[in-house]
Chains A and B, each alone.
Chain A
Amino acid sequence: MTEGLVWGLPVVFYLFLAGMGAGTLVVSSSVLLRGGGGPRGIHVDIARYGAFLAPVPVMVGCGLLIFELGSFHTGHWFKWINLYKVINLSPMSIGTWLLTFFIFISLAYAYTFVRNAPYLGENRLSLRRLLAWVSVPLGIGVAVYTGVLLGAMPSRPFWNSPILALLFLMSALSTGVAIILLTRALLHPRKADSEQQLRFHASGYILTSSDILLIGIELVVIFLFIMFAYLTVGDVRYAIATILPGGSLASYFWFGVVAIGLLIPALIELYFVIPRLLYHREYAAPRGVEIVVPLAVLVGGFMLRYVIVIAGQVTGPVGV
C-alpha cells in the first residue's frame, strides 16, 4: 500500500513515535506538577517512567526522518543541517526547532531523575519542577505540530482540516499514557510486597482512568473529523470516502484504529475503573490486562498515523 507514495513508512513511524514521545513527556510532567513535585510518592513513580521513556521515541523518529530525505539517498548524509540555517513559517521549520528543544529539554528532565547524578545536589527538585513547566507546552507543541504539518496543504484535502492537529494531540497523549502503563506493568516485580502492590494499583488507576478520558475525547474528535468532511461537497467529500465503508482504507481504519485502538481498550479499562469510580471498591487490574490494553492502544495509534498518511496521499484535488 505504501508503494509510489511521496511519504512512506518512515514518516508514518516518525509521526507515531514523535507523538508518543511528546505525549509521554506531557503526561509525566503534568502528573509530577499535579502531585506537587515532591521527592517521592505515586506521582513521582509515574513521572519517572515517563521522563526516561519520552526522549527515546522522539530521537528514533527523527533519525527515521533523515533516512527518508532525498538528499540522504544520494549520499549527502548531513545536508539536513540546512534545516538549522533558517527559521521560517513553514510548519516543518518550526517543527524542527520544536523537536530540537524537545530532545534537549526531555533529556535534561530525565537527568533530574537519575539517582546520584552529579552536578544536581540541592537543586534537583526545583530544577525538575522548572523543566516540567517547560515540558508541558513543549510536548503539546510537538504533538500539535505533527498535525499542522499535514494540515497546512490545500492540495491534500484529506489532511487539510483544522481538527487533525487536535486528533494527533489526543492520540499522542493516549499513546503516551499507554507506553507508561505498559512499561511499569512489565517492570513491576513479580514478588512485590503489599505496600508495593498498593502503590502499583494506585498509579495504575490514575493512568487508566485518564486514558479512558483521552480515548473518549479522541472518539469525539474522530467523529467530528469524519462528519464535517462527509457533510461538505467537493474534494474533501471524495477524500473522506477512502476511510468510509467501501473505501480502500476502511478496514484499516475501523478495525485497526477505532476497534483495536479505541473501543476495545476503553471498554476493558472501564470494566476495571467503574467499580472504583462508582462504588469505591479497590482498583486491581491484573498485570496481563495492563500489558494487553496499552499494546492495543499503541497499535491503534500507529494505525491512525498509517491510515491518515496514506489516505492523504492517494487523494487529491478534484478536477484540474
Chain B
Amino acid sequence: MVTDIPPSEQVNRRDFLKKTGSAAVGAGAAGVSSSALAARPEGTKQYGMLIDARRCYGVHACTVACKAKFDVPLGHNRSWVEYIEKGNYPDVTRSFLPRLCNHCSKPNCVSVCPTGATWKREEDGIVVIDPDICIGCKYCILACPYDMRFANPETGAADKCDFCVHRVTEGLEPACVEACPSRARVFGDLNDPDSEISRTIARNPVTVLRPEKGTEPNVFYIAADHSDERNSRVENQYVRVDTNRRYAERR
C-alpha cells in the first residue's frame, strides 16, 4: 500500500510553476503543496504536517501532550501512535505510525455533514468541528477513511484533531509537534515553498495514507510502514497493528 504522491499532482506542479514563474526557487518544494494551492484562493495557507517515521520511537509524547491539552474523555484520543509488527521469524520488524487528522484537501467528512457543523477553514485549511452545532449523527465518523473521528461522550458531538487551532492562530506549533522529543514532526504552511515543511517534502520521498480514497491528505510521512492486518492475507506473513482503540482491527 506504499504509494508515492500520485502522478496527477506532478502535473499540477508543472502548471503551478508555469503560473507563478518561480521555477528557479524551491521548484520541488512547491510540488507537493501545489494541489492544495490550485484548488484554493491565492494567499491562503494550507497547514500540513510531515512525520518522519525513522525518527519516531514510540514514546507517545504526542499522545500525552494532546490528551493533556484537550481533556478528551477516557478511552478516546485525538492523536496516537500505532505499532505495526510484521514478518515471520526471524525476519521481523516493529515500526511506529503516528496518527492524527489528515486535514484533507477534499474532506469526505465535511461533504456528508448535514448541519454544517464541520468545515474546512478558508484561511488555513484546517478542518474544524463546532460542537455547539453538531447534533452527533455520526455520519462523518463513518465517512472518514482514516477513522480519525470519534463521538465525544461528554459533548455528544463528533471530535477529532484540529491541528491545535487555538495555538496555531497565535503563531505557536501544535502541542504534539512541540512535545516530540525526537523532532519527528514538522508543521507548517504547505502553500509557502520556503517553509521548512515544503523544503523537507521536496527533498524526501513522502507518502500519504490511503491516497486511493481521493481525499488528498495534508499529513505526509517519510519512511512509514503502511502495512495493514489485511496485508497478512495477501503477503502470507504475520502483521499485527496495535491502535488506541478497543477493537482489535484497524478499519
Contact = CB atoms under 8 A, between A and B. Distances in A.
Interface of A: 4, 6-7, 68-76, 79-80, 82-83, 85-86, 88-93, 96, 152-156, 234, 238, 312-320
Interface stretch (B35-43, B86-94, B155-163, B175-183): B155-163
Contacts of A71: 134-136, 156-157
Interface residues of B, number: 45
6 contacts: A79-B136, A90-B112, A90-B139, A314-B251, A319-B226, A320-B1
Contacts, number: 127
Given A72-B156, A74-B153, A83 B135 contact: yes
A317 B145 contact: yes
Interface of B: 1, 97, 108, 111-117, 133-139, 141-145, 147, 151-158, 209-210, 212-214, 226-228, 230-231, 246-247, 250-251
Contacts of B227: 319-320
A314 B248 CA distance: 11
Given A74-B156, A153-B143, A155-B108, A318 B138 contact: no
B141 A6 contact: yes
Most B Cβ at <10 Å: residue of A90, A93, A320? A320
B10 to A, nearest CB: 22
Tell me if A's interface is mostly helix, strand, loop or mixed: loop
A233 to B, nearest CB: 11
A80 B115 CA distance: 9
A153 B214 contact: no
Contacts of A88: 113-114, 116
Nearest to B131: A71
B136 A69 contact: yes
Contacts of B155: 74
A320 B226 contact: yes
Given A96-B114, A153-B142, 16 more contacts: A69-B137, A70-B157, A74-B155, A76-B156, A79-B135, A80-B135, A83-B114, A88-B116, A90-B111, A93-B114, A155-B108, A155-B142, A155-B145, A312-B142, A318-B230, A320-B97
